[in-house]
Structure 1
Amino acid sequence: MDISAAPPIPWRRAPRAAVRAFWAGSTWRSLMHLVTGALVGIAGGAAIAALVATGVGGLITIIVPIIMGGILLVVNGVLTVVQRSRHTAFLGTEWPEGPFTQPVTFAPRHLLAIVKHPRTWRQLAYHAIAGIYGFLAAAFAIAAWTAGPAMVFAPLIGRESGLDPRHWILCGTGIVLTLAAPWITRGLAVLDELMARVLLGTSRAEALELRVTDLAASRDSTVDAADAERRRIERDLHDGAQQRLTSLAMNLGIARATLDDLPEEGARAIAEAHEEAKQVLTDLRDLVRGLHPAVLEDRGLDAALSAVAARSPVPVRLRVDMDRRVARDVEAVAYFVVSEALTNVARHSEAEHAAVEVSLEDGVLHLRIADDGRGGADAQAGTGLQGLSDRVRSVDGTFRITSPLGGPTEIEAELPCAS
């Protein structure tokens, strides 16, 4: 066995690590962190104590506590920014993204909302602790760096009056304290960082809230982009292919009506082409209408649903009760839900009648689509009901379906609308 290839024993590395710790950058950054922490902590603690005392002393009035509370929250925000930047500069602490302070106004309602937030009290708790811990930690660190070397020279100082065993004990203690000074400094800084992460950082609940907000914003942008793309496709088809097909169908119609001297096969070919062009044009119009109907954009949900009900092969009783238009994405979801639901009624339910009710109440758009068909509709059976549910959930809505065997089937959706 090659002994030279064996990994070094940990205790053999201890003297080298102890010596290197004296000039390691992390040691001196930790010491500067503690010294600046003492200065910021004492100043911040004194400012907070003064503001609290002034506010309590002015309880006999209303305006003084409000003003002092607002200033206290401003000071809290400033101290939080300073303390976070201090931890990042000296210890390399990384903080989660997202707002960790709130702009302060002196409106009582806004002040109350900030005061009620747990984050505010965590930050104030850290600043109160920092006023004491910062001073003590810096004092211990400075004492380790100064008292330790001084104690090492105790035998030299006591040589004139006669050496005493206590001088050698002090010397040994000084050596140990001097060697431990870098590690004491780092340990005190790490403890401060742990407290800061808990009190100045973002709690798990707040991190999840920020994540939900980011996901909601991402979803909204995706929905808006998809809606814009549908509008672009609808516009391109309407202004391009649909116009050309219309012209083609008209030309074939003219040729069919005016060319009387064609052979029977030619006349039949023109007639078939004319009918095929008209059918393709009808299909294209249905496709364009399904992408984003122009009537929905121009006249709103009431007119668009009236057109859907009029085209339905199953008689539909429509009632729309809305005193205003809602957001475009909500209108689009409501339109497609009703349109797809009526398509399912015509294809699968064997119903004789259907009813659609739309109402806007307390900022929520309520949809109800019912039919007297055979029932048994299942969202997992491939009838498009899962797609309807997904559309509704894309705007934070709720979707319910009741469809027992034998009927009737009832679909309900609630779509929140911004005021």
Structure 2
Amino acid sequence: MATDYGQGYGRVMRSDLGDRWSGGFGDDTAAERRNRLPVWLRAPVEGRTLREFVYVLLSLPISIVAFTFAVTMLAVGAGLLVTFVGIPVLALGLTACRGFGALERVRARALLGVDVQDPHPLRARDSGPLAWMGAVLKSGVSWRHLVYAVLHMPWAIFSFTVAVVFWTYGWAMLTYPLWFWVFPVYGGQGGIQLYGDDSHRFYLDNPFEIGLTSATGLLVALGTPWIIRALTTVDRVMVFGLLGPSRLVSRVVELESDRGVVVDTAAADLRRIERDLHDGAQARLVALAMDLGLAKEKLAEDPQAAARMVDEAHGEVKVALQELRDLARGIHPAVLTDRGLDAALSALAARCTVPVEVEVDLPSRPAAAIEGIAYFTVSELLQNISKHSGAARASVDVWRVEDRLMLQVFDDGQGGADVTAGSGLAGLAGRLDAVDGILVVESPVGGPTTVTAELPWRG
């Protein structure tokens, strides 16, 4: 039923994911017209090369200013630490380094196409200048910006020198046939002098030497874009590593957000259980108690009426028991605990209004919490298929890829499902994200719909 779709995601039932993502970059025909030249031939005149070259040129003056300021403020602040004055000097210096970092992030976005997120703002526990200075000095982001200001200058000098030399010499030699005439032949110099002493001089002045110089310049000009890209790759790494948000802080923020999602989900589940008990089984049990009380009163004077009431109460007991079973199944089904995902998902499929084919290929059982999330994910997706898809058939596929549990639910319905539209899919994606899971929805208008979920195994 399912086919392979790569080691990272296991099996997938649609093969046009790449087409869907690549289609967002523009018209393919126009791109083909623009890219008829080989990449190595058009690289010297591409906008990317020019932007990266401008980035390298601007790096030198900016890095010199940042380096000078950072080293000066660090030296002055460290020297004055024996007095209280050194602390605000260091705090001001680090704050200014964060400002330089903001400028570098803007420059990297504009010229290198590097989308670096801004680091998390300072968090001072109290208000006031002392709290602010403490937050600045304790912030790892501030010190990473200082390290960037110090380390970037020598690299900027090196990259500026290499890029300018290769760029200038490459284009100068390539265009040499156009400007060699500026050398005065009547003065005994018909071209560039490569060598000269008291007895011998060598000029690039005959057609062969001029042509060879231009050919060499062509090779240098063709190779210069790749040299510049290699140089700016180091800049990208430095910007990402030193000027972006801290991975640890980002992970803490992500976990705080996930914890909020988990708490909200648990509270919503508790409210749902309370509502179901109050409106369902509890109401039926109250009515049952009243019916049994009336039957008890009529038992002596009208035994037949009492028997009918007891029989009706017996039917109410069965209905209440079924509602309690359904409620317990909604909390955590017993079949999932006892027999695992294969049997639990087969039971879900049997209750779906659309014929569902289930295939579970797991070597062992994952962690109980992950198993429960997988069950309720499939349950909600099958409910959506029953209510909204208009499908004639559906399938559920479950397998393991390394340390990830993969789920895929497919239906041939009308499609149009959108995880960003604030529907139940958005809540489902939030629940999966709270445990480092991923939900991918592919549902073009007209169908079919494929929903792929990825969960950590944690067995």
TM-score by length of 1: 0.51
Choose which of 56, 61, 67 in structure 1 pairs with 2:88: 67
Choose which of 94, 100, 103 in structure 2 pairs with 1:82: 103
Deviation, structure 1 residue 234? 0.9
Does residue 159 of structure 1 match 2:195? no
Contact 1:123–1:200 at 8 Å: present in 2 too?
A: no
Provide the residue aligned with 1:310 in structure 2.
none
In structure 2, what is the Cα distance between the partners aligned to 1:135 and 1:275? 89
Q: Taking structure 1 as reference, are residues 186 and 140 closer, same or farther at Cα in structure 2, changes over 3 Å only? A: same
Choose which of 149, 156, 159 in structure 2 pairs with 1:127: 149
Q: What amino acid is the match of 1:82?
A: L
Provide the residue aligned with 1:361 in structure 2.
none
Q: Taking structure 1 as reference, are residues 256 and 192 closer, same or farther at Cα in structure 2, changes over 3 Å only? A: same
Map 1:205-284 to 2 at 5 A: 207=247, 210-211=250-251, 214=254, 217-239=257-279, 241-258=281-298, 260-262=300-302, 264-271=303-310, 273-274=312-313
Contact 1:148–1:175 at 8 Å: present in 2 too?
A: no
Q: Taking structure 1 as reference, are residues 167 and 104 closer, same or farther at Cα in structure 2, changes over 3 Å only? A: farther
Bigger radius of gyration among the two: 1
Q: Taking structure 1 as reference, are residues 278 and 129 closer, same or farther at Cα in structure 2, changes over 3 Å only? A: closer
In structure 1, what is the Cα distance between the partners aligned to 2:87 and 2:149? 21
Q: What amino acid is the match of 1:75?
A: A
Q: What amino acid is the match of 2:107?
A: R
Q: Taking structure 1 as reference, are residues 177 and 122 closer, same or farther at Cα in structure 2, changes over 3 Å only? A: farther
Q: What amino acid is the match of 1:42?
A: I
In structure 2, what is the Cα distance between the partners aligned to 1:149 and 1:281? 87
Provide the residue aligned with 2:42 in structure 1.
20
In structure 2, what is the Cα distance between the partners aligned to 1:138 and 1:67? 34
Map 1:127-206 to 2 at 5 A: 127-146=149-168, 152=176, 153=179, 156-157=182-183, 159-163=185-189, 166-168=202-204, 176-177=216-217, 180-181=220-221, 183-184=223-224, 186-198=226-238, 200-201=240-241
Q: What amino acid is the match of 2:216?
A: V
In structure 2, what is the Cα distance between the partners aligned to 1:204 and 1:135? 23
Deviating more after overlay: 76-85 vs 240-249:
240-249
Q: Taking structure 1 as reference, are residues 181 and 53 closer, same or farther at Cα in structure 2, changes over 3 Å only? A: farther
Deviation per residue, 1:248-276 (Å, 9 max, x gap): 431442243046443x5543343454577
Q: What amino acid is the match of 1:268?
A: A
In structure 2, what is the Cα distance between the partners aligned to 1:109 and 1:200? 25
Does residue 110 of structure 1 match 2:110? no
Q: Please, which runs of 5 or more residues in structure 2 have no aligned partner?
A: 1-36, 125-129, 194-200, 332-366, 374-459
Deviation, structure 1 residue 162? 1.7
Map 1:357-372 to 2 at 5 A: none
In structure 2, what is the Cα distance between the partners aligned to 1:187 and 1:72? 34
In structure 2, what is the Cα distance between the partners aligned to 1:256 and 1:130? 91
Q: What amino acid is the match of 2:187?
A: S
Deviation, structure 1 residue 122? 4.3
Give SS of 2:53's match.
Answer: helix
Contact 2:44–2:225 at 8 Å: present in 1 too?
A: no
Deviation per residue, 1:315-371 (Å, 9 max, x gap): xxxxxxxxxxxxxxxxxxxxxxxxxxxxxxxxxxxxxxxxxxxxxxxxxxxxxxxxx
Deviation per residue, 1:274-313 (Å, 9 max, x gap): 5775798799899999999xxxxxxxxxxxxxxxxxxxxx
Deviation, structure 1 residue 180? 2.1
Q: Please, which runs of 5 or more residues in structure 1 have no aligned partner?
A: 1-14, 293-384, 392-419
In structure 1, what is the Cα distance between the partners aligned to 2:329 and 2:40? 75
TM-score by length of 2: 0.48
Choose which of 39, 59, 62 in structure 1 pairs with 2:61: 39
Provide the residue aligned with 2:356 in structure 1.
none
In structure 2, what is the Cα distance between the partners aligned to 1:149 and 1:204? 36
Provide the residue aligned with 2:354 in structure 1.
none
Runs of 4+ in 1 over 6 A off after TM superposition: 15-18, 202-205, 278-292
Q: Taking structure 1 as reference, are residues 137 and 203 closer, same or farther at Cα in structure 2, changes over 3 Å only? A: closer
Deviation per residue, 1:150-196 (Å, 9 max, x gap): 56345751523324653219966676357524643552353233244
Q: What amino acid is the match of 1:234?
A: E
Q: Taking structure 1 as reference, are residues 69 and 174 closer, same or farther at Cα in structure 2, changes over 3 Å only? A: farther
The alignment's C-alpha RMSD in Å is 4.8
In structure 1, what is the Cα distance between the partners aligned to 2:245 and 2:153? 28
Q: Taking structure 1 as reference, are residues 157 and 77 closer, same or farther at Cα in structure 2, changes over 3 Å only? A: same
Deviation, structure 1 residue 30? 1.5
Deviating more after overlay: 183-192 vs 268-277:
268-277
In structure 1, what is the Cα distance between the partners aligned to 2:83 and 2:224? 49
Provide the residue aligned with 1:48 in structure 2.
70
Paired-residue identity, %: 25
Deviation per residue, 1:225-246 (Å, 9 max, x gap): 1332222331343145523541
Question: How many aligned residue pairs are there?
Answer: 279
